[in-house]
């Protein structure tokens, strides 16, 4: 941080089921600022409690694991 959006650091529930299934509260999400977007835009980093990190640029439709 500091993070510019109130939702940064909040629980990511993985409702879409595109990340490995984990208990509630396991994942956290953070905004990746999208230049020119009037709001948070579609880009996010999602982190897991075991240190794994994922990136999405299409608002949770797909993820790429960051190593």
> Among all residues, which ones are annotated catalytic?
29, 59
* DSSP state letters, 2-67: --SSTTTTEEE--TT--S----TT-EEEEE---TT-SSS-S-EEEEETTS-EEEESSTTS--EEE-
């Amino acid at each position: 941080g500091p993070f510019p959006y109130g939702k940064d650091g909040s629980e990511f529930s993985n409702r879409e089921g595109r990340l490995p299934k984990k208990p509630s509260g396991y994942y956290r999400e953070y905004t990746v600022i999208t230049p020119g977007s009037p709001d948070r835009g579609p880009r996010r980093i999602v982190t897991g409690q075991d240190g794994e990190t994922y990136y999405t640029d299409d608002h949770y439709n797909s993820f790429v694991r960051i190593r």
